[in-house]
Amino acid sequence: MARTFKVPQFYRSDTIAAIKQLRRLHDPKRRDFSPSELDLGPLKLRVARHFGFCFGVENAIEIAYRAVEENQDKRIFLLSEMIHNPDVNTDLEQRGVKFLMHPDGTVKIPLNTLTREDVVIVPAFGTTVQLQQQLSEIGIDPYYYDTTCPFVEKVWRRAEELGNDGFTVVVHGKRTHEETRATFSHSECGAQTLVILDMDDALFLVDYILGRKTIKEFWDKFEFCVSEGFDPETDLQRIGVVNQTTMLASETHAIAQTIKQGMLKKYGEDLIRDHFADTRDTLCYATNENQNATKELIRTGADLAIVVGGYNSSNTSHLVELCEAEMPTYYIKNVHEIVDAHRIRHFELEAKEVVESQDWLPQASLANPLTIAITSGASCPDKTVDDVISKLSELIPGCMPCAAAVDSFRQNLEANASLP
């Protein structure tokens, strides 16, 4: 039986819970990635099969709120944002929790102002070995309220295994992201480590391995992306690839295959196992499921897509990338970004800024219904998605109540299940 977590009720949604429960009943093995369809009359909503809070996020929220409940007479700190969702982080701040660092690692509150009586919560991304040691020296147990995602810890264990076997660890991730900084820190304890961002970095790395790039070019490219004492002439002879769990799983796989092909050219098929380690087991199942569900959501088609999540959420941004390649896509942090049927504020990935679009919502009617695809990131509460769905139904005249649409969806699932 799957573990359940104590998540505050204000993050939950009866509508979304009903949809997810129906899908679990009719697809217990989670093999059907087709979206859930809600027919509201003039508005048809296609909701991704998998979206919203993952195992690691629910685990983190349960621990963080328990820490607040258990320590009402103490100062409580988070090392940085617990997850990349503004509503969740704001709620914790309103309950008195203070953040020690910005997401990029810059200090907000110096650690030397803490005492052993203070409580520190480690965020879901994990933290560095150095910060764990600093907290321990103050007298604060960094593991007591540790919300690090189990799948992030799995990556750390795999990196440790690679180091023990004499492999250099290549981390596919964003160098300044909290999770990648934590993974890099844990990895470099036992292995030389290099962080690469994308396929361009992977191709450059392969070119260096095959002698097509000079050592000067290597350092110009990766000077600030390697562990101390890294020697590219010797440390790139045995490689294993792990990833920041929120990256595109397909991209991590493609990068690993590209590096493997380079090692094959250099060392040959007979010796490949001595020079390249298979690390497919580090991909996060939730990230992979959400991305596959989004791809299927796109395949079924829609007039436009709405992706809900924090603007600094890596996993959400990748869902946006998938959608906007195929249809008009609006990346919003919550329902308040939808001003009305004519105006919407949304985050532009390329420009990295919030913009406002006019006349974004096409007119709809029973004769000419509008289809909207909806998904959200792994750190987005179901209630936030529910609020967006409710707002859309209010903006389009003639929509039936969401509860009636969910009931109709249930009837369709049951009818299809009864077919031979």
List the catalytic residues. 179
Residue 238 dihedral angles phi and psi, to the nearest 5°: -135, 120
Contacts of 115 (CB under 8 A, 6+ apart): 138, 139
First to last CA, the chain: 29
CA–CA distance, 90 with 347 (Å, rounded to integer): 19
Which residue, 115, 159, 119, is CA-closest to 137?
115
Residue 93 dihedral angles phi and psi, to the nearest 5°: -60, -40
Name the amino acid, one letter, at 82. M
Whole-number Cα distances in Å, 152 to 126, 148, 224: 7, 7, 22
CA–CA distance, 262 with 217 (Å, rounded to integer): 18
CA–CA distance, 245 with 286 (Å, rounded to integer): 9
Which residue, 11, 21, 35, is CA-closest to 295?
35
The CA angle 284-290-293, to the nearest 5 degrees, is 135
CA–CA distance, 219 with 223 (Å, rounded to integer): 5
CA–CA distance, 35 with 144 (Å, rounded to integer): 39
CA–CA distance, 177 with 243 (Å, rounded to integer): 12
Answer yes or no: are the C-beta atoms of 376 and 50 closer than 8 Å: no
H-only helix segments in 268-313: 272-275, 285-300
**How many C-beta neighbours within 10 Å does residue 338 have?**
22
Which residue, 7, 151, 110, is CA-closest to 66?
7
Contacts of 215 (CB under 8 A, 6+ apart): 208, 232, 233
CA–CA distance, 320 with 170 (Å, rounded to integer): 26
Residue 306 dihedral angles phi and psi, to the nearest 5°: -120, 125
Residue 102 dihedral angles phi and psi, to the nearest 5°: -75, 165
Name the amino acid, one letter, at 235. D
